[in-house]
Amino acid sequence: MAELPIPIPLPLPDWIIEFIALNWETLLKIAIIPGLAFILLFELIAVWFERKFLADAMLRIGPLYCGRVAGWLQLIADALKLTIKEVFAPKGAHKLLFYAVPIVAPTIPALAVVLIPFGPDWILFRASGAGLLLFFALTSLIPVTTILAGWGSNNKYTIIGALRSAYLYIAAEMPLFIAAAGVVILAGTFDLVKIVELQSKMWFAIPQFIGFIVFFIAMLGASERVPFDIPVAEQELVLGWRTEYTGIAFGLLMTIEYACLLAWSLLFITLYLGGYQGPPILGPGTASGIFWMLVKLGIVVAVAIFLRVVFPRYRIDQALRLGWRYLIPLALLNIFLTLAMKPYLLAMLQ
């Protein structure tokens, strides 16, 4: 007797159904903020600001002609230029990996942005039980892509750059995770919205001061910013793990640095600087939430860019020593202090 075909029901999770049933609000979130337009605009403005700021510190003028006003179109011109250049893989490169990485890698930090609340209800995907965990799970994939890019390029500079990237990322991510654990202990939840709501009276930067400092330094390491731009050390490794890329593939890889900075800065704001909390300037609700997120983001990114003017680069062993010998013990100390003083700290927050 032939077996009867059993109809398999598709028990899709609620969030996918909700996701598929697009309403205008979801569409707005995906397209504008915190979605596509926001991420691209952030990269545009951050690069423009960085160029102008660095130029000012270096007694130069910076981009000037494209777009009439302070060269704001320069990055778009550069991107256009990159699109019309040839993309080719070097001899002996692993073609699949070589071409896959520039496509896959920039989506990872962009995906992490999805988890960040921009208002009490303005969050693209609220993983209520595990927002923070999911964020770390996603960002842990970044060094995998850099290693694949470095190895797939079949070049000595890229191999060294990729290995440095992996070392640095591990040394930076451990303190990030441990510092964030202090916040989780204090808030009692992984849900980023709840963490923000707990900060309505006082930002976690104060009760979690050690974690705040550790997180900021480690964040610079995780997004490969100066003084931790060791994997792309131009002076010895040409361009580190992205040496062999040309054309728009190179352009896409360049966006990773800023996308990472964006993702980590947003998490930093969410965990320590009160997230979307702030005086309701644009009325109660989402609008002022987004406004405060953008203001705080601007300040954090400006500080990160300022450091680029001031500091040279650490050597990889010095950065690892900083990570393992200072940041991780400090982050652990932060956890112990949080555990010991939790009732007092919670009373402080009320």
Q: Which residues bind other proteins (CB under 8 A)?
A: 54, 57-60, 156-157, 160, 163, 226-227, 229-230, 233-238, 308-318
Neighbours of 30 (CB within 10 A): 16
224 backbone φψ class: left, alpha, beta (φ>0; ψ -120 to 50):
left
Q: Which is nearer to other proteins, 279 or 312 (CB)?
A: 312
- Shortest CB 159 distance to other proteins, Å: 8
My answer on whether omega of the bond before 117 falls inside 30° of 0, hence cis, is no
Kindly state the smallest distance separating residue 317's Cβ from other proteins, in Å. Answer: 7
CB of 311 vs other proteins, minimal distance in Å: 5
Q: Which CB atom, from 230 or from 259, has the smaller least distance to other proteins?
A: 230
Taking alpha carbons only, the member of 248, 273, 246 closest to residue 192 is 273
State the angle between helix axes of 95-104 and 142-152 in degrees (0 to 180), rounded to the nearest 10: 150
Nearer to other proteins, 319 or 345 (CB): 319
Least CB distance from residue 307 to other proteins, whole Å? 10
d(CA 255, CA 115): 19
Residue closer to other proteins (CB basis): 49 or 125: 49
269: nearest Cα among 134, 124, 128, 118: 118
Give CA–CA dist 116/123, Å, rounded. Answer: 6
* Terminal alpha carbon distance of the chain: 69
Report which residue type is found at 124.
L
Which residue, 58 or 339, has its beta carbon nearer to other proteins?
A: 58
Nearer to other proteins, 62 or 298 (CB): 62
- In whole angstroms, give the CA distance from residue 320 to residue 302: 25
Q: To which H or E segment does residue 230 belong?
A: none
Least separation, in Å, of the C-beta of 321 and other proteins? 10
CB of 217 to other proteins, least distance (A): 12
